[in-house]
Amino acid sequence: MTQRERFLSIIIGGLVFVVAAQWIFNQYRGALRFRQNRLNSLAGEAETMQMTWLAGAEAERQMGEYKIRSLSSDPQIAQSSFQSWLLETVREVGLQDAIVDPVGDIPVGDLYRRYGFRLSGKTDLPGLLDLVYEVQARDQLHRIRDLNFAPVTKAARRGVSEEETEDTLSVVMVIDAISLSIAETNPPTPTDQPSWRIAQSKEDYRNSILNRNFFKPPNQAPRYRGSEQLVATIGQSNELKFEFEDPEKHDIRLTIDGDLPPWAMWDESRGRLIVSPPKPTEGESVDGEESPTPSAELAPIEVQVTAIDNGYPSRQTTQTVLVKTQEPPPPPKPTPPSPGFDDSTQTFLTALVHGRDDWTAWMSVRTRGQTLKLKVGDEFEIGTVRGKVTGVTSRSVMIEIDGQSYELKPADKLSDAIKS
């Protein structure tokens, strides 16, 4: 073998070795990949079986819970018991003209039966919230499928009871309830513990829902229309009223904040401040200070009055009012008794008579049947007229009344002459 042939043999042998080594490596790597894939596949199958087992356990646990919360497996018992509970609930929340009717039941395979109930009536927004809360808090297999409510129109309110106001809502609710086939015939009554659907208390729901009005503009706060200073009379019981007005005519509840002296009392039921300031005597202390005189006034009271309306949402207004005290006014002067019939209205000058030396005026008082003969200087009192004769002539007589002179001619009436 020549050197060239030997060299070619070495090259061919090397190539064969490389190819063989590459084939063996690929076979080994393929076996490793197959083994890893098989391990991954088995791990996946194990995980799937584990998840299936857990899901089955959860389904079994969930089915056990559903069985406890299910209605009776007896259709008659299930329907009548749930309808009875709905009737009791609408009575508790005060639903007016309430009607609860079953609207059929539908079997779903051999698993469960679905019952429908239609509830209708009239209430206000708080009553609707209470109704929805009570239905949702019932820990049974049921749900509110449909809920419609709207204000009762004015035409619909004509001729109805006074309980229906502009805040009355017409409510229609459809509820579905489930009865599992595996449930007990007489399951235990659900507890008073609220369902998991209830995340807040009824009061929290009221604050978040009732404080929005779906059908009217935003509620306005009450407004104070009274005086910022009120006066109480010393020695008397004074009933002070704080004049608030609500733009929407809602009912207003009043509260006060401030230190009241012993002689002041707040009447919460009527929203009045009853003030009875005592009249201090000389040397007696009032509000911790000695009264220098019996007529000393008491220290003013400063109170903060808060008016809270019952609108949605509720609004309030706080007003600071100063209550001062004052002495009682002096007693009024006695009114003179009103006179009876005035004789001067029926007194006439009937004659002017000349005597030896002077003239005489004859005045006839018809109500008395009397004739007065008056000369210059004579004083007279006829009814409400008191006067004096200052002059008598052939034509008239001059009389003076309260410093003023009046002329009276024959046939003149005394009262008319004074008025002219």
CATH number at residue 393: 2.30.30
241/190 same-domain check: no
167/85 same-domain check: yes
In DSSP terms, 373 is beta-bridged to 362
Q: Is residue 91 part of a domain?
A: yes
Share of the chain above pLDDT 70, in %: 90
Per-residue model confidence (pLDDT) at position 161: 53
In DSSP terms, 275 is beta-bridged to 238, 264
Q: Work out the burial of residue 159: count CB atoms within 10 Å of its CB; fewer than 13 is exposed, 13-18 middle, 19 or more buried.
A: exposed
pLDDT band at 10 (very low <50, low <70, confident <90, very high): confident
82/175 same-domain check: yes
47/124 same-domain check: no
What is d(CA 96, CA 92) in angstroms, rounded to the nearest whole number? 11
Q: Which residues contact 334 (CB under 8 A, 6 or more apart)?
A: none
Does pLDDT of 286 surpass 70? no
Q: Please name the helix (run of DSSP H) or strand (run of DSSP E) that holds residue 14, with its range, or none.
A: helix 3-69
Q: Is residue 379 part of a domain?
A: yes
Domain count, the chain: 4
Per-residue model confidence (pLDDT) at position 290: 46
For residue 179, the tally of other CB atoms under 10 A from its CB is 24
| Mean pLDDT of the chain, nearest integer | 84
Average pLDDT over residues 99-103: 93
Predicted confidence (pLDDT) per residue in 34-78, tens digit: 888 889 999 988 998 989 888 888 878 888 888 888 999 999 999
In DSSP terms, 273 is beta-bridged to 240, 266
Which of 177, 210, 243 delimits the end of a domain? 210
Q: What is the CATH number of the domain that holds 260?
A: 2.60.40.10
- Residue 283 falls in which region: left (phi positive, over 0), alpha (psi -120 to 50) or beta: left
Q: For residues 371 and 400, is the Cβ–Cβ distance under 8 A? A: no
Q: Over the Cα atoms of the chain, what is R_g? A: 53
What is d(CA 42, CA 260) in angstroms, rounded to the nearest whole number? 85
Is 197 in a helix, a strand, or coil? coil
Task: Give, rounded to a whole angstrom, the gap between the first and last alpha carbons of the chain.
Answer: 181
Q: For residues 65 and 190, is the Cβ–Cβ distance under 8 A? A: no
pLDDT band at 317 (very low <50, low <70, confident <90, very high): very high
Per-residue model confidence (pLDDT) at position 193: 80
pLDDT band at 339 (very low <50, low <70, confident <90, very high): low
Predicted confidence (pLDDT) per residue in 203-257, tens digit: 888 777 776 666 677 788 999 999 899 998 888 889 999 999 999 888 999 999 8
Amino acid at 45: E
Higher pLDDT, 332 or 53: 53
Higher pLDDT, 286 or 154: 154
Q: Is residue 8 part of a domain?
A: no
Does pLDDT of 396 surpass 80? yes
Q: Which residues contact 39 (CB under 8 A, 6 or more apart)?
A: none
154/33 same-domain check: no
Predicted confidence (pLDDT) per residue in 352-379, tens digit: 888 777 888 888 888 888 888 888 888 8
Per-residue model confidence (pLDDT) at position 192: 79
Per-residue model confidence (pLDDT) at position 154: 61
Q: Is residue 305 part of a domain?
A: yes
Share of the chain above pLDDT 90, in %: 27
For residue 60, the tally of other CB atoms under 10 A from its CB is 10
55/173 same-domain check: no
Per-residue model confidence (pLDDT) at position 297: 57
192/268 same-domain check: no
Is 232 in a helix, a strand, or coil? strand
108/180 same-domain check: yes
pLDDT band at 110 (very low <50, low <70, confident <90, very high): confident
Predicted confidence (pLDDT) per residue in 135-176, tens digit: 999 988 999 999 999 988 765 555 545 556 667 899 999 999
For residue 189, the tally of other CB atoms under 10 A from its CB is 9
Task: Look at 204-218, 303-317, 323-337, 396-410 and tell me which has the smallest mean pLDDT.
Answer: 204-218
Domain that holds residue 384: 343-419
What is d(CA 305, CA 255) in angstroms, rounded to the nearest whole number? 6
Q: Which residues contact 275 (CB under 8 A, 6 or more apart)?
A: 232, 237, 238, 240, 263, 264, 301, 323, 325
Per-residue model confidence (pLDDT) at position 114: 94
